[in-house]
Structure 1
Amino acid sequence: MQVRPIRSPTLGPLLLTAALALAACARPGPEQRLRESLQALQAAVEERDADALEGALAEDFIGPGGLDRAGARRLAQASFLRYRHVGVSLGPADVRLRGDRAEVSFTAALTGGSGRLPDAARLYAVRTGWREVEGEWRLVSAEWTPRS
């Protein structure tokens, strides 16, 4: 029995479309990767992991009052020393992509305490700037304002 190739004028484009669809599914798009980076940053804070937090920041990170990358790490470490349990709850993120840069705004509720119940809680309006470098999103700027 001899197997003959299937010849169809529509099969080629169909296979090409299927291959492209599979390739697109293989790697999340820029917005999805950015949201994953934001979730990883949230997890780093909740896990009290200053190394992971610093790793999410760009070398040229800038925050309020000229806070740089090293200063952000020290600020996080001070909070981790003060509170044994740290919680972060993020509101819906408004993502605006602009090529390899993005702006993400959201509200964040931060809690800290020595036991299961928080000793302190605060709500912030947060605006962040991100840059994609070699497929990885890095936080380049952050501003936060306490909300009533």
Structure 2
Amino acid sequence: MLKPSRPGLQMPAWLAPALLALALLGCSRTAPEERLRAAMSELQASIEQRDAKELESYLAQDFVGPDGLDREGARRMAQVLFLRHRDVGVRTGPEEVTLQAGYATVRFSAALTGGAGGVLPDSAQVYDVESGWREEEGTWRLTSVRWTPKFQPAR
């Protein structure tokens, strides 16, 4: 048992193990899914702040998007979108996260918004999105993304 710092004070027997447990919790690493969700939120914030360079920092060097879109192409595409629209936001549906040894797949629905919540582009569209992620030295990077329009226009 620990010695009291002042004579006459006794530390309750349960306090030392409780303090040790709290110290260990404070030192523990964040769960991979929690770090992944934080990276996704930060990526979304970079889009809403219209920061293409910050957005690019979340993309893996070997990032691949639709039609062979690479990391540089994704940054340029974001720059064009940011130039065309003063306000950009992302509205996402619930994420379905699948983790497997340093890799993750995240599926969700998304709509880009602009101005006072209007949908981008001018024709409203919601997308089903599937993204691939890889953990690199404790940091999650987006390795792939593909999106499919949820609604097909009537012919």
TM-score by length of 1: 0.83
Comparing 84-93 and 62-71, the one that deviates more: 84-93
The 1:20/1:109 distance shift into structure 2, 3 A limit, reads same
Partner Cα separation in structure 2 for residue 21 and residue 116 of structure 1? 42
**Residues 1-148 of structure 1 correspond to what in structure 2 (within 5 A)?**
16-24=20-28, 27-112=29-114, 115-116=115-116, 118=118, 120=122, 121-148=124-151
Do 1:86 and 1:111's aligned partners in 2 also have CA atoms closer than 8 Å? Answer: yes
Partner Cα separation in structure 1 for residue 147 and residue 117 of structure 2? 24
Letter in 2 for 1:128: S
TM-score by length of 2: 0.79
Do 1:89 and 1:110's aligned partners in 2 also have CA atoms closer than 8 Å? Answer: yes
Letter in 2 for 1:86: V
Higher helix proportion (structure 1 or 2): 1
RMSD of the TM alignment (CA)?
A: 2.5
Do 1:111 and 1:122's aligned partners in 2 also have CA atoms closer than 8 Å? Answer: no
Q: Which runs of 5+ in 2 are unaligned?
A: 1-5
Letter in 2 for 1:94: E
- Deviations along 1:53-83, one digit per CA (max 9) or x if unpaired, are 1001000000011100001011111111111
4+ residue runs over 6 A deviation: 10-13
Q: Which runs of 5+ in 1 are unaligned?
A: none
How many residues align? The count is 143
Letter in 2 for 1:39: S
C-alpha displacement at 1:135, in angstroms? 0.8
